[in-house]
Each structure stands twice: as structure tokens, then as C-alpha cells.
């Protein structure tokens, strides 16, 4: 879920293209404002247990620029795709 103030038409996909393939993450949308540390990402994971999805104990909460600079997992992966801080809005 995302505030309409910062982004529109936001879509997030995680998929694989084969049984033994890697997982691919796709994020699509339109930015309305420049993203600096004014945007916070809350990553909350769910796992499939006993025929239902339950919230996992793994949660990550980041301010956008701090995530790119300091996080060794998510931030490093996002920065490797070429995303930089500040992230410019589409005009």
C-alpha cells in the first residue's frame, strides 16, 4: 500500500520463470514527488504455513536514502539496479 501523495499505479510482483529459476522482483509505478528520506518503506513478509499465509517475524523499515546507503541486503540489491538517491519524479 502506498500513499497517493508520493506514487500512483504502484504494482509489485515477485515471480519465477521456472521451477529451478531465481526469484524476480518487479516494481512499477509513477512517482509524483522526489523521493529522498521523505519516503519510508515498510517490508513485511508472510509465509505459507498450514494451508494459510501467516505474518513472519521478519520485518524491515527504512527511510529511502538510508536504505540505499546502509542496508546490506535490500538496499544493496536496489542500488545495484541503478536506483540512486534522490529518485526523481516523472513530470
The pTM of this model reads 0.67
Average pLDDT over residues 24-41: 85
Return mean pLDDT, the chain. Answer: 86
DSSP 68: H
Mean pLDDT across 54-67: 90
pLDDT 10s digits, 67-82: 888 888 888 888 888 8
Chain center to CA of 76:
12
- Residue spans of the domains in the chain: they are 7-80
Q: pLDDT tens-digit profile of 37-47?
A: 888 888 888 89
The pLDDT > 90 percentage for the chain reads 16
Amino acid at each position: 500500500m502506498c500513499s497517493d501523495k508520493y506514487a500512483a499505479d504502484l504494482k509489485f510482483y515477485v515471480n519465477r520463470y521456472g521451477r529451478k529459476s531465481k526469484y524476480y522482483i518487479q516494481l512499477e509505478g509513477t512517482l509524483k514527488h522526489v523521493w529522498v528520506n521523505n519516503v519510508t518503506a515498510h517490508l513485511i513478509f508472510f509465509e505459507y504455513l498450514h494451508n494459510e499465509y501467516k505474518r513472519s517475524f521478519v520485518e524491515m523499515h527504512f527511510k529511502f536514502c538510508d536504505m540505499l546507503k546502509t542496508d546490506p541486503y535490500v538496499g544493496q540489491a536496489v542500488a545495484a539496479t541503478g536506483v540512486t538517491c534522490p529518485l526523481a519524479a516523472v513530470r
